[in-house]
A and B are shown apart, each in its own frame.
Chain A
């Protein structure tokens, strides 16, 4: 079987082309598949976009994570606004002054507003903590309760 498929250049080229075609189709699916819709109004969404620019400008991802992706020196901030004992005043205080390990970025009030707006949008996409997931029969994890992704 292997000899038949990979024993000649034509077989190799056909396999490569077939895989590449599947890759292109899969890529198209990923680009267009449904993702959680933003629940923020237009004006708030624009603020969140500005917040995201600031997030990148200060390279926050070097220390923090969304959905567990990023650096580990700082905490995951996906749901920092809705977490018990945290919330907006807590986030604003940290952004204003830094912490023992996070530098004070000397942010202006409007920049703090934008970053909070971005965190609000992130919070609305779903829950990232382990306690929000259950394991199904196949070993795959499912977010419970369901996030606001469309079926």
Chain B
């Protein structure tokens, strides 16, 4: 739709990623020194700062992809709407982080800011929807799957984001169980909605890199899209197996979650061709990030399916196994795919990165992913140990439990620092490249305009 705005979104996203991983490290340090940091850096502030900064990284970078990959339309209001869209989201994000710093909370998990700040976020997505519609309305060709994914991402973000504020109505707010059920229903779909935006861009890039225009139009691709949509709509209940809700909700989640086995099966079946493709395209930076994401998809899908079996979920729920899954998907899948998208956008629209930058990005990619693997295993270890300790002694004191888990906490804090180092090696060269190239391109355009006049 608009390249300048696309890169503006992506660069801002990278800044939020930097902030988010720094807050993440502080969170890890809090696990090691809770007593010393209790008043100076309370976890009630660190956790939302980390979570929201990362959510805004995902939103900004994913939306940036849409502005770059959707067809352009010529009317001026594309840029104007885009700028408004960007400003609304940026103002909301900055105000939200400011609220957390000053201790002003709305107190809902993951959206811990005062509800009024939800309005600019929702408005920004409405503007994105308008821009998407204007970009697509004259396009009479059948849509490839990635456009359906982007559309779904926008629609379901608005629906589930609105739904996550139903607690403002007494009917929902006054019953803890109904409130929690609706809250987790909306969160499940919300995560699914930004996954649709990200996966749509990933499919778009795969189509462009392979040069195979049929890839995103094949019936099998659409069947996988619908399987994802089906899970977005109905599988969220695996978060609340232990909540005393109607059995129909819990069984639906159980059955629907098991359909993800089809995706796992497809990954295993395609493994050999994926490997040979990875070898063929290993010189391409975006492809390397996508290969890393592929490995994480396999690992996380495998654990997600296990965790969705209620008999196993009974032990993993409420432990760091859930955190391992959340981190594996957010860093291993979402962040890798978004970085692939940024690398692709940079090389396609701004030119080649210098060999020095590529070296740094590659080092960061390997270092970050190896650290992530250790981090993920440490979290799994912490979760499994917690479940075992609680099962052996259900009335174990929480302080004692945390003390026994400390070796795992040291493991995930140190490897967390490794992830930060790896991501910084990727973020800094990309940001530097984007800023210098954009300034150069803008100066060249200005010169040309001056010469014409």
CA distance A34 to B244 in the complex (A): 10
Q: Is A91 an interface residue (CB 8 A)?
A: no
Task: Select from chain B the residue with minimum beta-carbon distance to A37.
Answer: B175
Q: In the complex, which residues of chain B have a beta carbon less than 8 angstroms from the beta carbon of A35? A: 175, 177-178, 181, 244-245
* Known A19-B229, A35-B245, A75-B398; contact A68-B317, beta-carbon cutoff 8 A: yes
Q: Is the CB of A33 within 8 A of B310?
A: no
Partner of B38, one of A30, A33, A103: A103
Chain B residues with CB under 8 A of A101:
34-35, 38, 399
> For the complex, what is the distance from the CA of A85 to the CA of B397, rounded to whole Å?
10
Known contacts A23-B234, A130-B394, A63 near B44 by CB under 8 Å: yes
A45/B395 in contact, CB under 8 A: no
If over half of B's interface residues share one DSSP class (helix, strand or loop), that class is named, otherwise mixed; here it is: helix
- Which residues of chain A are near B106, meaning CB under 8 Å? 56
Which A residues touch B390, using CB under 8 A? 130
The proximity string for B residues 237-255 relative to A, scoring 1 for CB distances below 8 Å and 0 otherwise, is 0011111111111111010
Q: Is A141 an interface residue (CB 8 A)?
A: yes
Please name all residues of chain A whose beta carbon is closer than 8 Å to the beta carbon of B254 when the two chains form the complex: 138-140
Chain B residue numbers with a CB within 8 Å of A12 are: 148, 222
Whether, in the assembled complex, B342 has its beta carbon less than 8 Å from a beta carbon of chain A, the answer is: no
Residue from the list A9, A34, A72, A73 in contact with B319, Cβ < 8 A: A72
Q: Which residues of B contact A19 (CB under 8 A)?
A: 226, 229-230, 233
Interface assignment of A128: CB less than 8 Å from any CB of chain B: yes
* Inter-chain contacts of B42 with A (CB < 8 A): 103
Majority SS of interface residues in chain A? mixed
The docked-state distance in angstroms from the alpha carbon of A23 to that of B230 is 9
A44 partner residues in chain B, CB cutoff 8 A: none
Question: Whole-angstrom distance between the alpha carbons of A25 and B280 in the complex?
Answer: 47
Q: Is B174 part of the contact surface with A, judged by Cβ < 8 Å?
A: yes
Cβ contacts A26-57/B at 8 Å (1 or 0 each): 11011101111010000001000100100111
| Inter-subunit contact B249/A30 (CB<8 Å) | yes
Closest chain A residue to B258, Cβ basis: A139
Q: Given contacts A38-B175, A69-B184, are A59 and B105 in contact (CB under 8 A)?
A: yes
Cα distance, A53 to B182, chains bound together (Å): 18
Residues on B with C-beta less than 8 A from A9 are: 142-143
Q: Show 7 A/B contacts (Cβ-Cβ < 8 Å), sorted by A.
A: A30-B249, A52-B176, A56-B105, A59-B44, A73-B30, A102-B38, A121-B176
Which A residues are within 8 Å of any B CB, using their own CB? 2-3, 5-9, 12, 15-16, 19, 22-23, 26-27, 29-31, 33-36, 38, 45, 49, 52, 55-63, 65-76, 83-85, 98, 100-103, 121-122, 125-126, 128-131, 133, 135, 138-141, 143, 147, 149
Give B contacts to A, CB under 8 Å: 30-31, 34-35, 38-39, 42-45, 47-48, 105-109, 112, 142-143, 148, 163, 172-178, 180-182, 184-185, 219-220, 222-223, 226, 229-230, 233-234, 239-252, 254, 309-311, 313-315, 317-320, 323, 390-391, 394-395, 398-399, 402
